[in-house]
Amino acid sequence: MQPERWDYMEDIQMQLLSEQLSRFRDSIDARLKRLEADLCHHQTLEAEKLANLGHELQHLRAGLDDHEKRVRSVDDAVIALKAATSLAQAGQAGLTLIAAAIAAWLGGQR
């Protein structure tokens, strides 16, 4: 029978292997903690970005509402101006008609 390899390993080699495995575990633990910290930081940044986007969206909606109110106000002013212009033109046409009638009446008396 051939003796197993582990039986011949000296204590120093066992300690060396144990130390290497311990360092490997510590390295993996450190990497995992760093990844968890990075993930937490990334999640915090994403939450802040989302909150900022929400505030920006509210600001844009408020601006949109303000612009819509202004457009409606200008539209109402244009309609009022057109109505006033139409009334003024109708009044001018009426006065012209009255003046023509007076001129025709005065011209017919001569």
Tell me the residue length of the chain. Answer: 110
The reply to whether 35 falls in a domain is yes
Q: Alpha helices of the chain — where are they, by DSSP H?
A: 11-109
In the chain the first and final C-alpha atoms are separated, in Å, by 155
Per-residue pLDDT averaged across 48-65, rounded?
A: 96
Residue 24 belongs to a domain: yes
List, in order, residues 6 or more apart from 109 with CB less than 8 Å away.
Answer: none
Full-prediction pTM beyond 0.85?
no
Does residue 3 lie within any of the structural domains?
no
Rounded Cα–Cα distance for residues 29 and 23 (Å): 10
| Gap between the Cα atoms of 32 and 47, Å rounded | 22
pLDDT of residue 11: 81
pLDDT in tens, 59-102: 999 999 999 999 999 999 999 999 999 999 999 999 999 999 99
Cβ-count burial of 90 within 10 angstroms (0-12 exposed, 13-18 middle, 19+ buried)? exposed
57 inside domain: yes
Q: How many domains does the chain have?
A: 1
| Tokens at 59, concatenated | 């600001």
